[in-house]
Amino acid sequence: MPFRRRRERGSLFVGVMLMIIPVCGLLGLVADLGLSYFTMQSAHAAAEAAAIAAVRSAIDNVNAGGSYSCGSNNFLKCQAATNCPTVIPSPTNSNLQNGCAYAIANGFNSGGLGGKQTVTIEANTTSPVLGVKVNYWVTVRITQQNPLTFLAVLGGNKLNVGVESTAAVVFKVPPSCITSLDSSASSAFTVSGGASVVLSNCAAQVNSNDGSALNCNGGGSLSAPSINVVGGAGGCSATTGAPAVSDPFGGLAPPDLTGLPNGSFDNGTNTYSPGIYKGGISVHNASVTFSPGTYILEGGGLTCNSGCTMTGTGVSFYNTCNSGACDGGSTGYKPISINGQGTVNLSAPTDSGILFRQDRTLSMNNDNEDIEGGSSGSLSGVLYFPEANLKFAGSFSGANASTVIVANTVTLAGNSSLETSLTNPPTWMPTASLLE
């Protein structure tokens, strides 16, 4: 019996030891993972601060006259993932050094902790990150080797902790007062011969990728808070290499002609009434008023010349072919033509915002939609000509109007001037999206 009791006590001791091993392992797991979690949180905060600091420096550089291009002012840098320097000069020589300085200030340095820390920084202007298009982005990655304590008894001697943070200047599509849609035309937007364009609180967008997509010459001037060109620009200060945007009115359905009456003209009051005008509308050396509503121009367009005057509030003109839909053709289609010392004061309905609208099924033609020849006044609303060149020429002077132009190409020439402002984007104005 005594011998048997000693054997039972020995078995109990072995059993307790076997239970202690997993308990110690669990305690070790908690301790080592807790340390790693603390390291990860600290490293993430450092990486985030470093990436934001580098991008903030890039923004400051651009605001001081630089650009979002690699090597701008020799300050904005682009590079593959590279270890941050262990010593940062003061003042720094680049925006990326600013980022590395923030990582160091937050306790992480390449080669730190006896070689257990690594900090890399990467930047560029061309790659899409986070699923969006950007002007410039910076990615910071931090790794640290944590020694294992209790868990070492289960094998291994270190646990690698790694984090990554990206900051970017995201390309925001601004509301545009002028959008040229053609994707490849030379001089897709031209301002020449003393013409002047002044846009307030809105942008100019040129989708053409041609090297001379935007062209200012012969004393032409273009002023806007933001001028974005996919291709190149000559004679105008602009942001080149910008992404293209979609046609903001590309999804707009054609007007429903069902039940629309034929338009009529009252000779006694010189007033036009809304409706369908087969053969278009021509006004010569006369003053006319358009009553509020929609005017369908079925072949013939709208002509105003020889000193005509046109006024109308809440009016919208839809320019199409003889059949009422061009369907890929141009039968009977005539452009909008306003010239000859005329005065035009027209404003669109407040709900749709469309003043002039071209049938989108029209085949491209060589006709200009013309507003020129000494005409003056204001055109408030959208001038939408996706398949034509919209031309302002002569001495047209349109000032202080909420004019929004969306056309295949746009030309301002002669002594024409266009001043437009969008203090607040109208409710009818859609937001264009970036094209991939």
pLDDT score at 12: 45
Cα-based angle 426, 431, 434 (whole degrees, multiple of 5): 160
Put simply, whether the predicted model's pTM sits higher than 0.85 gets the answer: no
The strand pair at 271-273 and 264-266 is best described as antiparallel
Distance of CA 79 to CAs 95, 117, 123, 171, 280, Å?
12, 21, 5, 20, 60
pLDDT score at 16: 45
Q: What residue spans define the domains of the chain?
A: 32-170, 176-421
Structural contact between residues 244 and 207, judged by C-beta atoms closer than 8 angstroms: yes
What value does the mean pLDDT take over residues 371-381?
A: 78
DSSP-based three-state secondary structure for 17: helix
Between 395 and 21, name the one with better pLDDT: 395
Rg (CA), the chain: 34
| 56-87 per-position pLDDT tens digit | 999 888 878 778 888 877 899 999 999 999 99
Strand ranges in 171-286 using DSSP code E only, listed in sequence order? 176-180, 189-191, 196-200, 203-206, 214-216, 221-223, 226-229, 233-234, 239-240, 264-266, 271-273, 275-278, 281-284
| 201-256 per-position pLDDT tens digit | 888 999 999 999 999 998 889 998 889 999 999 988 898 888 888 898 888 888 88
Range in 84-88, 96-100, 340-344 with the lowest mean pLDDT: 340-344
pLDDT score at 124: 92
Angle (deg, nearest 10), helices 95-105 and 2-63: 150
What the block records as the tokens of 338 is 């306003």
Structural contact between residues 391 and 411, judged by C-beta atoms closer than 8 angstroms: yes
pLDDT score at 239: 87
